[in-house]
Amino acid sequence: MLAPAPSEPHPKLADPQTLARIARLELRARVVVEGIISGMHRSPHHGYSVEFAQHRQYTRGDEIRHIDWKVYGRTDRYHVKQFEEETNLKAYLVVDASTSMKYQSGALSKSDYAAIVAAALSSLLIQQRDAVGLALFTDAVQVYIPPGSTPSHMRLLLDHLERPPVAPKTGVSHAFHDLAERVRRRGLIIVLSDLFDDPKAVLNGLQHFRHRKHEVIVFHVLDRDELTFPFRDAAVFEGMEGEGLLPAEPNALRKEYLRLFEEYLATLRRGCREMAIDYVPMPTDQPVADALAHYLHQRLRTR
Amino acid sequence: MLSLSFLNPTYLAALGLGALPILIHLIRRRRVRIIPWAAWDFLNRSHRVHRKRLRIEQLLLLLLRIIIICLVVLAFCRPVFRMRGMAMTAPDARVHALIVLDNSYSMGYRVGNGTTFDRARQAARSLFRQVLKEGDTVQVVLASARPEALIREPTYNLQQAASAVASAPLGDRATDYGATAAFCLRLLQQVRNPVREVYWFTDSQRSGFEPRRRSDDSVWAALAHAARITWVDVGEAGRSNISVENPVLSRDLVLRSVPVRISATVHNYAPTARPGSLVHLEIDGRRVASARIDIPAHGSAPVHFVYMFDTAGMHTGHISLDQHDALPRDDGTWFAVNVRPRISVLLVDGYPNPDPARDEAFYLATALTPTGPSMGASAGITLAIHAGPGLGRTNLTGYDVVIVAGLETLSAGDARLLATFARQGGGLLLFPGRNGSQGSGTAALQSLGVLPARVGPRRTLPADAGVSLDAASMTGSALEAFRDTSQIDIGSGHFTGYNELAPASAPDVRVDARLSDGHPALVERRIGSGRVMVTAFSAGTYQSDLPYKPAYVPLVHQVTSYLAAGRSEPRLLQVDDPIVAHFGVAEAGAGFVVTKPNGSLLHVRGELGVQGVTVPFPGTRSAGIYWVGTTAHPHSQAFAVNLPQGEGDPAVVADTAIKRLLGSSGQIVHGGQSLAAAVHQARSGSEVWRGLAIAALPLLFLEGLLARRMGRRG
């Protein structure tokens, strides 16, 4: 389970401009993770992994190396140590790989940003011996990697995050339903997407995860332009998922656009709250480490 | 109709700038940025909501910008509106002005301390002060039914023209706009200056356009083409007037000591009735009678006086209102009458009969001289009787009327004598006898064109199916007095036989009376200056009981005095009617004078003829009594000249009707408006650049609002 102590992340290394100058996703993720870790009060390297639970009397078949010789010296009986496995969490990173995620007004596109966040979370989770899986989706699940916790698994995740299969999406919910059917064992679903779909359908897909007893976190990755619609002059807008061209006067449309967008966000927020899903807005101009650390801090405080 | 021109037409090319917003729009459209967009659904939905409104607003904005640019450019071009069809008059151009002053008597309507005509003159004089300048030429015309030029030849002497206008006289004529327009057109055709203006000062009286002639429209069109007409209406709104018109004497020949009815018509041109209006009759300058009459609103009422002249000779009269109104000129009407001491009548008895009851002439003689021939003077008639068929050797000189009882007894020679007698002003009354349709005299009179009707065969009716004279048919002045049957019932006499009359088809033939079965009873014809009447019935008791009826005597007297009037000159005239006075041969060497109503004397020449000396005088410009006589006796003959009828009606014609006549270049200026300003505008047109600039301001403001709304400035 993620359990970092609340702290201020490293401001310089984790901002999007800095990350944009780093080519490899692995390094980007490390920067973010270091940024998070540098602010924690205790190290995730201590107190985790395997913890002692109790002694029991040796029986045939037990491993000789598990015999506690100190107890034998005091009691002259064979006892073996029993350990409790704590890191049995299976996390699934559900990352949007559709073309809409390619929108970029600042240093990072939404897909870059989502990949960094996904990589950082993978790194954190695997360091805690948690298993991490990956699902890349467009209108369906394009790539599915079952959870794993080894360094080589981490490498595999990074490879796929760096080269996602890009395609237009027609429906997020379809991918969610598909994934919910695949992941049988209860786990943590971390969604990284702009969720540009009918909000009811999106919530319906998320509901499916909750129905399977998964814990769900939604990182809603949005570009600042999409939140503010800052355009002034007349322009022709081209749909990134093949919708076509639309000549428009942005100033004339802004008010209505923002109203619709806010309505959409409010629907998502309300739906997530009702389903006990953590909804985390992630504008791409926000430092990644900040966003993650802030969320983790919030999460620790509330749980 | 207005036309448009520009003082700075070269700037019109800049109107092309109006296309600037379109060009900018197109350029911006070409340079527009393409933005890949992920949140498509929100953009598309917001666009869909406002697409229609946005398009309209964009178009409106584009249109506004084009209009604003065009307005500004047009303002720089300094557009000028002016009347279509007229070239603009340059400030230094020499203008020919034809000043038309309506001097009809209705212009004498009192307004404040002056008259409408004073207003017209004042307005006309303002032209000389404010509009006309040195180098301009002027003609001045007095407008009326007989327009005349005060200044016929175009003059550069504006001072002289102004003086002529200032001293222009008010006339007594009626208004006739059509005649004046034709007169002006003739004057203008002699003017070479192409810049011609007509200034018409008038009260816009409706009667001036009546009666409308067919040629009027073309005259007005030609005048409007020849000059720019400025119609200056100086009339007072809501005018009212009462006029006394149309004096009528019940007898054409007035005899001494014989009562005569004197009538006039009082018109009320006002929306309120005038009950109990007092009207006076003056004879020879002395008030002799008064009467009260009720005059309805917008109507008329007759006024009657009965008067008996006790002396023969010339008399003048005046019928007038007791109280003067704003147009006093027509508050009275004049008449003149030559009262004769007696009428000389020759009665030709074609069938003398020792039994008076069977002698037609007996009844006529008795009617004409009720107290016997010796006492005939008291009835104003001197009667001579010629018994026997034909005239024999009777000399007709000195007789006023010849009455023939037994038409068929005349010879052809008699017919020629009677024809001459009638042509020289004598009166003929012809009663057909039992064989009235026959006889050489009848045929001769017929062939000489003297008989008013062909005398047909006798028609005998059953005793119980007789006919009588129809009072209602008596519309002519001879027998009009008998229409009213309340005092004398002309239909009381019955006829059981009569000669059928077929009136000649000539314009001077008139049926004065009909029988109750519709057949002509009395037909009149004017021949020369005399009058001839033929009857269908007998003068006596043959198939008639009329001589026994009370109506017989007045009928004979009325007809006789009517026929005798042929020798009298017409003395009731209208303005501009010529006076023709007759004097005896004895006055051949005398000098003649005309005394006008204002008392001024004018020497005129007489023309000697067979009948004596004729003195013509055509110059009856003013209403009133004119006297014609020799220098020794200047007041020998009187003539009453009255104002034209209808001119007293103050109703005005609508501006729209006038505008139609003035053409596209003409204009109407009313009393309250500045004539100089109106002329200036007509000459140079109206500059409208200020209006355009002012119009652009709110549009600019609107554009700002719209642009802000669409976020172009946000």
- pLDDT tens digits for range A10-52: 444 467 766 666 666 666 676 677 666 654 433 333 333 345 6
Whether cis (ω within 30° of 0) applies to the bond prior to B211 is: yes
Amino acid at B363: Y
pLDDT digits (tens, 9 = 90+) for A81-99: 766 444 568 889 999 999 9
Q: Bigger pLDDT: B49 or B262?
A: B262
Quote the DSSP letter at residue B488. -
**B28 interaction partners in chain A (CB closer than 8 Å):** 233-234
At residue B157, the pLDDT reads: 94
Count of residues making up chain B: 714
Contact B402, B418 (CB under 8 A): yes
B136 falls in which pLDDT band (50, 70, 90)? very high
* pLDDT mean across residues, chain B: 88
Q: Bigger pLDDT: B163 or A302?
A: B163
At residue A43, the pLDDT reads: 35
Q: Please tell me the distance in Å from A231's CA to the nearest CA on chain B.
A: 10
pLDDT digits (tens, 9 = 90+) for A249-285: 888 888 889 999 999 999 999 999 999 998 999 999 9
Highest mean pLDDT among B60-69, B311-320, B363-372: B311-320
CA B286 to chain centre: 31
Burial A217-250 (b: 16+ CB within 10 A, else e): bbbbbbbebbbebebeebbebebbbebeebebbb
Which of A232, A234, A256 is facing B49, going by the closest CB pair?
Answer: A256
A233 Cβ under 8 Å from any chain B Cβ: yes
Measure the CA–CA gap between A93 and A188, rounded to whole angstroms.
Answer: 8
B629 has pLDDT over 90: yes
Q: Please tell me the distance in Å from A100's CA to the nearest CA on chain B.
A: 5
Q: Is B411 exposed, middle or buried (0-12, 13-18, 19+ CB in 10 A)?
A: middle
**A253 interaction partners in chain B (CB closer than 8 Å):** 43, 46-47, 50
Q: Please tell me the distance in Å from B21's CA to the nearest CA on chain A.
A: 15
For chain B, percent helix, then strand, then coil, each to nearest 5? Answer: 35, 35, 35
Structure tokens at B601: 């004397």
- Whether A247 and B32 lie within 8 Å, measured CB to CB: yes
A 163-202: CB under 8 A from B: 194, 196
CB neighbour list of residue B50: distance below 8 Å, 6 or more residues apart = A252, A253, A256
Structure tokens at A187: 């786990």
At residue B88, the pLDDT reads: 57
| Closest residue of chain B to A98, computed from CA coordinates | B38
Residues A144, A146, A148: CA angle, nearest 5 degrees: 135
A220 Cβ under 8 Å from any chain B Cβ: no
Contact B146, B138 (CB under 8 A): no
Which of A232, A253, A264 is facing B47, going by the closest CB pair?
Answer: A253
Contact B558, B469 (CB under 8 A): no
Residue B53, CA distances (Å) to A63, A152, B47, B48, B50 in order = 82, 60, 10, 10, 5
- Whether B38 and A241 lie within 8 Å, measured CB to CB: yes
- Whether A235 and B32 lie within 8 Å, measured CB to CB: yes
**B50 interaction partners in chain A (CB closer than 8 Å):** 252-253, 256
Provide ipTM, 2 decimals: 0.77
Count CB atoms within 10 A of the CB of residue B489: 16
CA dihedral for B349, B355, B358, B364, sign (positive or negative): positive
At residue A4, the pLDDT reads: 40
Which of B33, B44, B57 is facing A246, going by the closest CB pair?
Answer: B44
CB pairs under 8 A between A and B: 99
Measure the CA–CA gap between B196 and B638, rounded to whole angstroms.
Answer: 46
Question: Considering only CB atoms, which residues of chain B are within 8 Å of chain A?
Answer: 28-29, 32-47, 49-50, 54, 57-58, 710-712, 714
At residue A26, the pLDDT reads: 67
**B46 interaction partners in chain A (CB closer than 8 Å):** 253, 256-257, 259-260
**A234 interaction partners in chain B (CB closer than 8 Å):** 28-29, 32
A266 Cβ under 8 Å from any chain B Cβ: no
**A257 interaction partners in chain B (CB closer than 8 Å):** 42-43, 46
**B712 interaction partners in chain A (CB closer than 8 Å):** 251
**A249 interaction partners in chain B (CB closer than 8 Å):** 54, 58, 710-711
At residue B90, the pLDDT reads: 62
| Closest residue of chain A to B34, computed from CA coordinates | A236
Count of residues making up chain A: 303
CB neighbour list of residue B559: distance below 8 Å, 6 or more residues apart = B429, B478, B479, B522, B533
Give me the residue label for tokens 């990074």: A158
Burial B427-454 (b: 16+ CB within 10 A, else e): bbbbbbbebbbebbbbbbbeebebbbbb
- 3-class DSSP assignment, residue B578: coil
pLDDT digits (tens, 9 = 90+) for B478-525: 888 888 888 888 888 999 999 999 999 988 899 999 999 999 999 999
When mean pLDDT is compared across A146-160, B82-96, B698-712, the lowest value belongs to: B82-96
Q: Please tell me the distance in Å from B52's CA to the nearest CA on chain A.
A: 12
CA B184 to chain centre: 20
Q: Please tell me the distance in Å from A118's CA to the nearest CA on chain B.
A: 21
The pLDDT of B524-551, averaged and rounded, is: 90
At residue A219, the pLDDT reads: 93
Contact B455, B435 (CB under 8 A): no
Which of B28, B42, B57 is facing A257, going by the closest CB pair?
Answer: B42
**A196 interaction partners in chain B (CB closer than 8 Å):** 38-41
- Whether B40 and A103 lie within 8 Å, measured CB to CB: no
A253 Cβ under 8 Å from any chain B Cβ: yes
Bridge partners (DSSP) listed for residue B499 = B458
pTM, two decimal places: 0.57
Measure the CA–CA gap between B171 and B184, rounded to whole angstroms.
Answer: 18
**A245 interaction partners in chain B (CB closer than 8 Å):** 34
H-helix segments, A128-165 = 151-162
- Whether A240 and B49 lie within 8 Å, measured CB to CB: no
**B710 interaction partners in chain A (CB closer than 8 Å):** 249, 251-252
What is the DSSP secondary-structure string of B203-245? --BGGGG-SPPTTHHHHHHHHHHHSEEEEEE-PPTT--EEEEE
B539 has pLDDT over 70: yes
At residue B190, the pLDDT reads: 86
Interface test with A, best of B27, B46, B55 (most A CBs within 10 A): B46
A137 has pLDDT over 80: yes
CA A17 to chain centre: 21
A261 Cβ under 8 Å from any chain B Cβ: yes
Structure tokens at A86: 């704590």
Crossing angle of helices A250-274 and A199-211, rounded to 10°? 20
- Whether A256 and B50 lie within 8 Å, measured CB to CB: yes
At residue A172, the pLDDT reads: 84
- Whether A237 and B45 lie within 8 Å, measured CB to CB: no
**B37 interaction partners in chain A (CB closer than 8 Å):** 103, 237-240, 246
- 3-class DSSP assignment, residue B485: coil
Which of B40, B49, B50 is facing A241, going by the closest CB pair?
Answer: B40
Query: Of all residues in chain A, what percent carry a pLDDT higher than 90?
Result: 26
| Closest residue of chain A to B50, computed from CA coordinates | A253
pLDDT digits (tens, 9 = 90+) for A155-201: 898 888 888 777 776 678 888 998 998 888 888 899 999 999 899 99
A263 Cβ under 8 Å from any chain B Cβ: no
B143 falls in which pLDDT band (50, 70, 90)? very high
When mean pLDDT is compared across A69-78, B431-440, B658-667, the lowest value belongs to: B431-440
| Closest residue of chain B to A168, computed from CA coordinates | B38
- Whether A251 and B46 lie within 8 Å, measured CB to CB: no
Contact A75, A170 (CB under 8 A): no
Q: Please tell me the distance in Å from A265's CA to the nearest CA on chain B.
A: 12
- Whether B29 and A234 lie within 8 Å, measured CB to CB: yes
| Closest residue of chain B to A254, computed from CA coordinates | B46
Contacts of the segment B375-380: beta carbons below 8 A, 24+ positions apart: B376/B342, B377/B342, B378/B257, B379/B258, B379/B557, B380/B255, B380/B256, B380/B257, B380/B258, B380/B340, B380/B341, B380/B342, B380/B343
